[in-house]
Chains A and B, each alone.
Chain A
Amino acid sequence: MNNHLLNTISKSLLLIVSTTSAYASPAFETLEGSASGIDFVHFNGMSGEYYFPEMMGGGVALFDYDGDGDEDIYLVQGAMLGPDKSAEDSLLPVPEQALIDRLYRNDGNLKFTDVTEQSGLRANGYGMGVTVGDIDNDGDPDLYLSNFGANQLWRNNGDGTFSDITAVAGVDDERWTVSSTFADYDGDGWLDLMVVNYVQYSFTNLKTCKAYSGAPDYCSPQSYKSTSDRLFRNQGDGTFVNVSNRVGIAAYEGPGLGVVARDFSGDGHMDFYVANDGAANFMWINDGNGSFTEQAMLWGVAVNMAGKPEASMGVDAIDYDHDGDEDLFMTHLDRQSNTLFVNQGTGWFVDRTVAMGLAGTSLPFTGFGVAWLDYDLDGQWDLFSANGAVVVIEQQRDAGDVYPLRQRNQLWRGTGDGFVEIGPDQVPALEHMAVSRGLALGDLDNDGDSDIVIGNSAGAPQLLINRAGDAQSWLGVDLRRDGVVAIGARVTIKDKTGKQRTQVVRRDGSYASALDPRLLFALEGMEPPYQLTVSERDKSVVIERQVDAVDRYHTIDIQRDK
Chain B
Amino acid sequence: MTSTSMIDRALKSNVIGLALIVTLVACPLATALETVPEPRVDGLAEPVRSAINDARVAVEELEDGAQADLAAAYGVLGMIYHAHELMDAAASAYRNAEELAPYDARWSYLLGITAAEAGDMGTAERYFRESLTDNPGYIPTRIRLARVLLANGRLDAAEALFDYVLRDAPNNAACLDGKAQVLMERQQYAEAAELLRKALEIQPEADRLNYTLGQAYRALGENEKAQEHLSVIGTRDPLFMDPVFSQMRSYSRSAEQFMSVGHEAARNGDYPSAVRYFSRAIEIDPESAMARVSLMRALEAVGEIDLAEKQLDYVIEQGKENSLIHFNKGVMHEYRSEDDQARVRYRQALAMQPDLVEARILLANSLMRNGQAAEAVDHYGQLRAQSPDRLDYSFRYAMAQALAGRCVEAVEVMHEMVSKVPDDLETLNSYNRVVASCPAATATHKQNALNASRNLYSLSTAAYITETLAMAEAAAGNTDAAVEYQSQAIFSALSAGQQAQLPAMRALLERFRQGQTAQLPFDPESSAMKPPRLTPEQRR
The answer to whether B152 touches A359, judged by C-beta atoms less than 8 angstroms apart, is yes
The 8 A CB mask of A192-220 against B (1 = contact, 0 = none) is 00000000000000011111111100011
Contacts known (A360-B151, A418-B153); A305 close to B269, Cβ less than 8 A:
no
Give the contacting residue for B264; candidates A209, A306, A307, A356; CB below 8 A: A209
The answer to whether B43 touches A364, judged by C-beta atoms less than 8 angstroms apart, is no
**Is B539's beta carbon under 8 Å from chain A?**
no
Q: When chains A and B are docked, how far (Å) is the Cα of A350 from the Cα of B39?
A: 42
**Is A91's beta carbon under 8 Å from chain B?**
no
Of all chain A residues, which has the CB nearest B116?
A: A363
The answer to whether B43 touches A222, judged by C-beta atoms less than 8 angstroms apart, is no
Closest Cβ–Cβ distance, residue A289 to chain B (whole Å): 20
Closest Cβ–Cβ distance, residue A199 to chain B (whole Å): 10
The answer to whether A360 touches B153, judged by C-beta atoms less than 8 angstroms apart, is yes
Q: Which residues of B contact A207 (CB under 8 A)?
A: 267-269
Q: Which residues of B contact A418 (CB under 8 A)?
A: 153
Q: When chains A and B are docked, how far (Å) is the Cα of A418 from the Cα of B219?
A: 22
Q: When chains A and B are docked, how far (Å) is the Cα of A544 from the Cα of B127?
A: 58
From A152-160, A296-304, A500-508, the one touching the partner chain is A296-304
**Is A398's beta carbon under 8 Å from chain B?**
yes
The answer to whether B264 touches A210, judged by C-beta atoms less than 8 angstroms apart, is yes
Q: When chains A and B are docked, how far (Å) is the Cα of A57 from the Cα of B215?
A: 35
Q: Which residues of A contact B42 (CB under 8 A)?
A: 214
Give the contacting residue for A213; candidates B41, B181, B211, B219; CB below 8 A: B41
Q: When chains A and B are docked, how far (Å) is the Cα of A300 from the Cα of B152?
A: 22
Q: When chains A and B are docked, how far (Å) is the Cα of A223 from the Cα of B301?
A: 13
**Is B167's beta carbon under 8 Å from chain A?**
no
**Is A225's beta carbon under 8 Å from chain B?**
yes
The answer to whether B151 touches A212, judged by C-beta atoms less than 8 angstroms apart, is no
The answer to whether A363 touches B269, judged by C-beta atoms less than 8 angstroms apart, is no
**Is B204's beta carbon under 8 Å from chain A?**
no
The answer to whether A223 touches B152, judged by C-beta atoms less than 8 angstroms apart, is no
**Is B480's beta carbon under 8 Å from chain A?**
no
Give the contacting residue for A354; candidates B41, B151, B210, B268; CB below 8 A: B151
Q: How would you classify the secondary structure of chain A's contact residues: helix, strand, loop or mixed?
A: loop
Of all chain B residues, which has the CB nearest A309?
A: B233
**Is A395's beta carbon under 8 Å from chain B?**
yes
**Is A335's beta carbon under 8 Å from chain B?**
yes
Q: When chains A and B are docked, how far (Å) is the Cα of A303 from the Cα of B267?
A: 26
Chain A CB within 10 Å — which of B42, B44, B151 has the most? Answer: B151
Give the contacting residue for B269; candidates A224, A298, A352; CB below 8 A: A224
**Is A365's beta carbon under 8 Å from chain B?**
yes
Contacts known (A355-B185, A356-B153, A360-B151); A223 close to B39, Cβ less than 8 A:
no
Q: When chains A and B are docked, how far (Å) is the Cα of A210 from the Cα of B210?
A: 33
Q: When chains A and B are docked, how far (Å) is the Cα of A213 from the Cα of B86?
A: 7
Q: When chains A and B are docked, how far (Å) is the Cα of A436 from the Cα of B233?
A: 32
The answer to whether B212 touches A305, judged by C-beta atoms less than 8 angstroms apart, is yes
Which residues A308-324 have CB closer than 8 A to chain B?
308
The answer to whether A357 touches B181, judged by C-beta atoms less than 8 angstroms apart, is no
From B117-125, B366-374, B454-462, B507-515, the one touching the partner chain is B117-125
Closest Cβ–Cβ distance, residue B316 to chain A (whole Å): 30
Q: Which residues of B contact A306 (CB under 8 A)?
A: 181, 208, 211-212
Closest Cβ–Cβ distance, residue B155 to chain A (whole Å): 7
Q: Which residues of A contact B212 (CB under 8 A)?
A: 305-307
Which residues A334-378 have CB closer than 8 A to chain B?
334-335, 337, 348, 350, 352, 354-365
**Is A394's beta carbon under 8 Å from chain B?**
yes
Of all chain A residues, which has the CB nearest B272?
A: A222
The answer to whether A398 touches B37, judged by C-beta atoms less than 8 angstroms apart, is yes
Which residues B26-84 have CB closer than 8 A to chain A?
37, 39-44, 84
Q: Which residues of A contact B39 (CB under 8 A)?
A: 213, 394, 398
Instruction: Give the interface size bracket for B toward A.
Output: 35 or more
Give the contacting residue for A355; candidates B122, B155, B215; CB below 8 A: B155
**Is B439's beta carbon under 8 Å from chain A?**
no
Give the contacting residue for A214; candidates B37, B43, B119, B121; CB below 8 A: B43
Closest Cβ–Cβ distance, residue A555 to chain B (whole Å): 41
Q: Which residues of B contact A354 (CB under 8 A)?
A: 150-153, 155, 181, 185
Closest Cβ–Cβ distance, residue A420 to chain B (whole Å): 11
Contacts known (A307-B208, A395-B88); A337 close to B261, Cβ less than 8 A:
no
The 8 A CB mask of B258-272 against A (1 = contact, 0 = none) is 000100100111111
Closest Cβ–Cβ distance, residue B539 to chain A (whole Å): 15
Closest Cβ–Cβ distance, residue B522 to chain A (whole Å): 28
**Is B101's beta carbon under 8 Å from chain A?**
no
The answer to whether B152 touches A360, judged by C-beta atoms less than 8 angstroms apart, is yes
Of all chain B residues, which has the CB nearest A362?
A: B119
Q: When chains A and B are docked, how far (Å) is the Cα of A106 from the Cα of B88?
A: 45
What number of residue pairs across chains A and B have CB atoms under 8 A from each other? 123
The 8 A CB mask of B209-238 against A (1 = contact, 0 = none) is 111100100110000000100100111000
Of all chain B residues, which has the CB nearest A297?
A: B230
The answer to whether A363 touches B153, judged by C-beta atoms less than 8 angstroms apart, is no
Closest Cβ–Cβ distance, residue A468 to chain B (whole Å): 24
The answer to whether B88 touches A394, judged by C-beta atoms less than 8 angstroms apart, is yes
Closest Cβ–Cβ distance, residue B100 to chain A (whole Å): 24
The answer to whether B40 touches A215, judged by C-beta atoms less than 8 angstroms apart, is yes
Closest Cβ–Cβ distance, residue B46 to chain A (whole Å): 12
Q: Which residues of A contact B37 (CB under 8 A)?
A: 398
Q: Which residues of B contact A350 (CB under 8 A)?
A: 187, 215, 219
Of all chain B residues, which has the CB nearest A216?
A: B43
The answer to whether A220 touches B234, judged by C-beta atoms less than 8 angstroms apart, is no
The answer to whether B119 touches A305, judged by C-beta atoms less than 8 angstroms apart, is no
Q: Which residues of B contact A363 (CB under 8 A)?
A: 119-121, 151
The answer to whether B43 touches A307, judged by C-beta atoms less than 8 angstroms apart, is no
The answer to whether B211 touches A303, judged by C-beta atoms less than 8 angstroms apart, is yes
Q: When chains A and B are docked, how far (Å) is the Cα of A258 from the Cα of B184?
A: 27
The answer to whether A213 touches B40, judged by C-beta atoms less than 8 angstroms apart, is yes
The answer to whether B44 touches A213, judged by C-beta atoms less than 8 angstroms apart, is yes
Q: Which residues of A contact B121 (CB under 8 A)?
A: 360-361, 363
Q: Which residues of B contact A300 (CB under 8 A)?
A: 215, 218
Closest Cβ–Cβ distance, residue A527 to chain B (whole Å): 33
Q: Which residues of B contact A365 (CB under 8 A)?
A: 119
The answer to whether B230 touches A298, judged by C-beta atoms less than 8 angstroms apart, is yes
Of all chain B residues, which has the CB nearest A348?
A: B218
Of all chain A residues, which has the CB nearest B120?
A: A364
Q: When chains A and B are docked, how far (Å) is the Cα of A354 from the Cα of B159?
A: 14
Chain B CB within 10 Å — which of A210, A212, A348, A418 has the most? Answer: A212
Q: When chains A and B are docked, how far (Å) is the Cα of A220 from the Cα of B270?
A: 7
Closest Cβ–Cβ distance, residue B356 to chain A (whole Å): 28
Q: Which residues of B contact A361 (CB under 8 A)?
A: 121
**Is B273's beta carbon under 8 Å from chain A?**
yes
**Is B306's beta carbon under 8 Å from chain A?**
no
Q: When chains A and B are docked, how far (Å) is the Cα of A212 from the Cα of B280?
A: 13
The answer to whether B151 touches A337, judged by C-beta atoms less than 8 angstroms apart, is yes
Q: Which residues of A contact B271 (CB under 8 A)?
A: 222
Q: Which residues of B contact A222 (CB under 8 A)?
A: 268-273
Of all chain A residues, which has the CB nearest B229?
A: A307
Q: Which residues of B contact A335 (CB under 8 A)?
A: 117-119
Closest Cβ–Cβ distance, residue B267 to chain A (whole Å): 7
**Is B85's beta carbon under 8 Å from chain A?**
yes
The 8 A CB mask of A78-97 against B (1 = contact, 0 = none) is 00000000000000000000
Q: When chains A and B are docked, how far (Å) is the Cα of A401 from the Cα of B427?
A: 58
Q: When chains A and B are docked, how far (Å) is the Cα of A297 from the Cα of B84?
A: 35
Q: Which residues of A contact B215 (CB under 8 A)?
A: 300, 305, 350
For the A-B complex with A214-B43, A305-B184, A306-B208 known, give 17 more contacts whose Cβ atoms are closer than 8 Å: A210-B261, A212-B86, A214-B44, A220-B268, A220-B270, A222-B271, A223-B269, A305-B212, A305-B215, A307-B208, A307-B233, A308-B208, A348-B218, A350-B219, A354-B181, A358-B153, A363-B151
Give B residues with C-beta under 8 Å from A. 37, 39-44, 84-86, 88, 117-122, 148, 150-153, 155, 181, 184-187, 208-212, 215, 218-219, 227, 230, 233-235, 261, 264, 267-273
A sample of 14 cross-chain residue pairs with beta-carbon separation below 8 angstroms, ordered by A number, consists of: A211-B43, A213-B86, A214-B40, A214-B41, A219-B268, A219-B270, A222-B271, A280-B233, A298-B230, A307-B211, A307-B212, A359-B151, A364-B119, A394-B40
Closest 3 CB pairs of A and B: A214-B43, A307-B211, A363-B119
